[in-house]
Amino acid sequence: MSLRRSKAASREVANLSKVRIKVENGRFRVVGLGAWYSYWRDPYHLMLTIPWPGFIAITSGLYLLGNALFALAYLAGGDAIVNAEPGSFQDAFFFSVQTLASIGYGAMHPANLYADILVTLEALTGLLGVAVLTGLAFARFSRPTARVMFSQVAVITQFEGIPTLMFRAANERRNQISEAQLRVYIMRDEVSAEGQRLRRFHQLRLLRDQTPSFLLTWTAMHPIEPDSPLYGSTEASLQRHNATLAISFSGLDETVAQTIHARYSYAAPEIRWNSRFKDIFQYTDEGDRYIDYSNFHQTIPIDLPAP
């Protein structure tokens, strides 16, 4: 048993290809990550990730192939279909279509026990096929998605006398997202005391990492204090260590009553030092306020002492 497990594990390792990680403008990118065609060994995952045209093409191809195989099986039984032209693949094919879909027009019907057995098998295949296809289609349609927009850059600015890392998030759907949460991590290359190179994750504490209702916008803020992993960092040091800010958002979409997730990241060149965001809140003469999203990604340079 142990030997078989060892061989199976060896085959799994052999099946894994090398993963290439590219660094583009300070951002790590796994080549081929998320490519739907890489899941051909996992048909269920493949059918969930393939684009809709591919999903329809594969489904149609399997449907035509299944009917063609059953048509050949009917022809192998001789005159197994009443009112069908002897040896006609076309009649056998369309009889298979009627049987698989439980249409039953009545013009053609089984002529003997052999055909009855095939009809029984095909009817069962049709039931299972409809169940599987319905489940796959429902799973594709029902997957919750988040429409959360993040600012194109993050900034380090002064807030209440403390250098503070900031970035913006906005709810593009304008619906209620309850119990929304943000998690922020700094990922950077480091060298351990033993000289081993590794990439470490450090969580950044936010002034407010959750909100009972996320409707419009959210400005996340991390104070760069002595206990912050960013304390003492500079623009050059972040780029030298290939630092990346990883953002994780989650919340409950009240429209579909499901948890949604969103991710975003900022490479070191996308963190603007000595800058602040332009104000997106505007006021009318009547005292009302509105949000101007045209300034959502805009920043203004300022003078800021090093943290």
**Mean pLDDT of all residues in 136-161:** 88
* Range of the structural domain that residue 290 is part of: 148-301
pLDDT of residue 94: 92
pLDDT of residue 14: 46
Domain with residue 192: its CATH number is 2.60.40.1400
Q: Return the closest-CA partner of residue 174 out of 139, 213, 137.
A: 213
Domain with residue 93: its CATH number is 1.10.287.70
Report the share of the chain in percent with pLDDT over 90. Answer: 35
- Whether 299 and 180 have beta carbons less than 8 Å apart is answered as no
pLDDT of residue 31: 54
Q: Is the pTM of this model over 0.85?
A: no
Same domain, 138 and 152: no
Final residue before a domain boundary, out of 85, 107, 142: 142
**Rounded to the nearest 5°, which phi and psi values hold at 272?**
-90, 120
Same domain, 136 and 172: no
Final residue before a domain boundary, out of 127, 142, 157: 142
**Mean pLDDT of all residues in 230-244:** 89
**Mean pLDDT of all residues in 264-276:** 90
Cβ burial 105-129 (10 Å sphere, 16+ → b, else e): eeebbbbeeebeebbeebeeebeeb
pLDDT winner (highest mean) among 17-21, 41-45, 190-194, 276-280: 276-280
Same domain, 157 and 128: no
**Rounded to the nearest 5°, which phi and psi values hold at 82?**
-70, 140
* Between 304 and 257, residue with greater pLDDT: 257
| Domain count for the chain | 2
Helix (H) or strand (E) holding 59, with range, is helix 52-76
pLDDT of residue 64: 94
In angstroms, the CA 167 to CA 252 distance is: 21
Domain assignment present for 35 = no
Residue 120 has pLDDT above 50, yes or no: yes
* Between 113 and 37, residue with greater pLDDT: 113
Domain assignment present for 26 = no
Residue 82 structure tokens: 């009443």
Same domain, 85 and 229: no
